[in-house]
Amino acid sequence: LQLGGVHRLVAVLGGGGPDSAGSPLSQPGGGTSGDVARRCNVAGAIDQYDDCFVLKAFNEINEVWGAQFARSGQTYTKPRLVYFSQSVRTGCGTASSQVGPFYCPPDRKVYIDLGFLDQLQRNYGAQGRYAQAYSVAHEVGHHLQALTGTEARVRQAQQADPSRENPLSVQLELQADCYAGVWSTLANNAGNVTIGEADLDEALGAAQAVGDDRIQAQAGQVNPETWTHGSAEQRRDSFLTGYRGATMASCGTVPHV
């Protein structure tokens, strides 16, 4: 996977300003966003450091979606990126590193625990930089759902019928996988990234690695009724649907029957 240059790093991190909870946006292990930007703007940093690569991928993902929204006459509001380790306070409550990367709709932020990316490779076999890019693109996919009202509709449907909570959650997650696939093709076509067969395989491997059945199998018991993200096959197929369709419409409408 080849990303573009190292520009726009400071803008995404907000120049070191406070987040909505009043605490500074920071990198794992301490340091402000300015520290991250300075280190990541050095030649070779994107290849060397996970946080720099993730930040660059995050920038490219939002650039592509911004252009796509503009072509449709819509305004795209970027999410913000927050790195954390161990735990973090968010507009969705306090989260531990056990949850991995996530998106919080109330504060419109993508939270990334870089330790999860290592775990993804060590424990689940999701190797390669494009596996990391897929993880970020999936979370930005949830931001798209917040912007389009999909996330709110799903939450309302879950509250109206709690028995559908898990199936509706699966629909939401699979659509975010599909949006990650859409981004891959749009970015490749626009020249933001260069995606070869090996990169596509890395993304598909990552999508499969975080399937509920794969994760539950490691714990010794697979129970589809408890799934909240979808099976390895479903996640792989959803990414491919977006990759081949290359439009948000190709990812369908959620919730659906």
Cα 154 to Cα 100, 168, 177, distances in angstroms: 22, 7, 16
Q: Which two tokens mark 75? A: 């305004």
Beta strands in 97-196 (DSSP E): 102-104, 109-112, 193-194
In one letter, which amino acid is 119?
Q
Q: Give the number of other CB atoms < 10 A from CB of residue 119.
A: 15
Band (16; pLDDT cuts 50, 70, 90):
very low
DSSP state letter for 21: T
**Residue that has been written with the tokens 């990198």 in this structure:** 27
pLDDT number for residue 96 = 83
Cα 76 to Cα 43, 71, 119, 170, distances in angstroms: 30, 11, 32, 25
Q: Which two tokens mark 212? A: 């509920």
Mind listing the pLDDT tens digit for each residue in 134-156?
989 999 999 999 999 999 999 99
**Residue that has been written with the tokens 């794992």 in this structure:** 28
Mind listing the pLDDT tens digit for each residue in 89-126?
999 999 887 787 899 999 999 999 877 777 766 666 66
- Domain extents for the chain? 33-250
Cα 232 to Cα 31, 95, 113, 185, 219, distances in angstroms: 37, 25, 22, 21, 15
Task: HSE, CB side, 13 Å, CA atoms: give it for residue 150.
Answer: 24
Q: What is the mean pLDDT of the chain?
A: 82
Backbone phi, psi, residue 229, to 5°? -125, -20
Is residue 48 pLDDT above 90, yes or no? no
